[in-house]
């Protein structure tokens, strides 16, 4: 456990020194300038659009972090052979993988946290500058705590993407890992469609294949509750719990396979 937390801390430190925080600055600038410019354009929809923009940007920036740092986690170390000296220390390969993953999850959490805070600050200003009568027309309050539900599910989704990136990174090159992880992400967004393929396609084999893929590839669209949250529609606690549990189980499966592969591979 101690070894895992040390490795995690090292990953976090690397992400900070690797200038990941700069994208937080970019995020904040994007959000603030949009909020200033949008007012005139949108016939009173600026709060909705800021929420949409804030949540979408949080998702997207988080995705970049998950993929690009995720693949570097193992691939870069193996490529650069800094892993040689590390594995001579009293840690197992399993602890190595666990530590790397924990570090990246920590990095993600901090980044998402900062972005969410920035979003709330901007929303706070907008709410403060709007009269109560206009506010009553909004689907959901400006400083809506329900936004955190969307961010939370995004976080679980990104933990899943990170696990996939780590998995690929245990055996393939950085470039290939990035492409495959991105591919999984995109297919995961469409996943819900695969379920009902039989209504669209004639061949029953294709439909069965699609059903199979549906169950194996993670259903990432289930983690997207941004629309509901922005329009003030309810997101039941049961749904949150079930989706989170699904994510955690899937992550466990992937990490187990990744550890299995990593424990048996040769390092060039």
Q: For the CB of residue 53, give the shortest distance to another protein in the complex, in Å.
A: 6
- Please state the length of the chain: 268
State which of positions 6-25 bind another protein (CB under 8 A): 6-7, 10, 14, 17-18
> What's the rounded Cα separation, in Å, for the pair 131 and 113?
29
- Contact flag: residue 49 with another protein (CB under 8 A): yes
- Contact flag: residue 198 with another protein (CB under 8 A): no
Q: For the CB of residue 139, give the shortest distance to another protein in the complex, in Å.
A: 7
> What's the rounded Cα separation, in Å, for the pair 256 and 94?
9
Size, binding site for another protein by CB under 8 A: 54
- Contact flag: residue 237 with another protein (CB under 8 A): no
Segment lying near another protein (by CB under 8 A), choices 45-53, 122-130, 211-219, 248-256:
45-53
Site string for another protein, 216-235 (x = CB under 8 A): ----xx-xx-xxx-xx-x--
State which of positions 66-125 bind another protein (CB under 8 A): 80-82, 84-85, 87-92
CB contact at 8 A, 260 and 90? no
Q: Which is nearer to another protein, 85 or 237 (CB)?
A: 85
- Contact flag: residue 43 with another protein (CB under 8 A): yes
Segment lying near another protein (by CB under 8 A), choices 22-30, 37-45, 114-122, 199-207:
37-45
Instruction: Give the residue from 260, 261, 62 showing the smallest Cα distance to 160.
Output: 62
Structure tokens at 107: 């990095």
Q: Which is nearer to another protein, 7 or 69 (CB)?
A: 7
Q: Tell which one of 193, 206, 248, 249 touches another protein (CB under 8 A).
A: 193
- Contact flag: residue 201 with another protein (CB under 8 A): no
- Contact flag: residue 189 with another protein (CB under 8 A): yes
Type and span of the H or E element at 216: helix 204-216
> What's the rounded Cα separation, in Å, for the pair 11 and 222?
29
- Contact flag: residue 133 with another protein (CB under 8 A): yes
| Contacting residues toward another protein, per CB under 8 A | 2-3, 6-7, 10, 14, 17-18, 41-45, 48-49, 52-53, 55-56, 59-60, 80-82, 84-85, 87-92, 133-134, 136-137, 139, 186, 189-190, 193, 220-221, 223-224, 226-228, 230-231, 233, 264, 266-267
């Amino acid at each position: 456990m101690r070894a895992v937390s040390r490795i995690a801390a090292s990953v976090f430190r690397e992400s900070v020194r690797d200038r990941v925080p700069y994208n937080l600055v970019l995020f904040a600038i994007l959000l603030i300038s949009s909020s200033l410019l949008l007012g005139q354009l949108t016939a009173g929809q600026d709060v909705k659009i800021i929420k949409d923009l804030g949540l979408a940007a949080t998702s997207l920036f988080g995705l970049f972090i998950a993929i690009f740092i995720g693949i570097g986690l193992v691939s870069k170390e193996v490529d650069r052979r800094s892993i040689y000296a590390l594995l001579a220390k009293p840690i197992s390969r399993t602890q190595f993988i666990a530590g790397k993953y924990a570090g990246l999850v920590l990095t993600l959490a901090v980044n998402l946290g900062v972005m969410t805070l920035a979003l709330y600050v901007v929303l706070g200003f907008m709410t403060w500058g709007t009269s109560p009568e206009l506010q009553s027309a909004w689907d959901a309050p400006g400083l809506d705590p329900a936004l955190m539900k969307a961010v939370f599910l995004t976080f679980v989704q990104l933990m899943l993407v990170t696990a996939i990136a780590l998995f690929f990174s245990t055996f393939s090159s950085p470039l290939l890992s990035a492409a495959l992880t991105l591919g999984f992400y995109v297919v995961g967004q469409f996943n819900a469609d695969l379920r009902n393929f039989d209504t669209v396609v004639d061949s029953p084999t294709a439909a069965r294949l699609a059903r199979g893929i549906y169950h194996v590839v993670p259903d990432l669209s289930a983690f997207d509750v941004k629309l509901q949250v922005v329009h003030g529609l309810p997101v039941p606690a049961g749904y949150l719990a079930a989706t989170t549990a699904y994510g955690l189980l899937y992550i466990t499966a992937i990490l187990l396979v990744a550890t299995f592969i990593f424990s048996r591979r040769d390092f060039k």
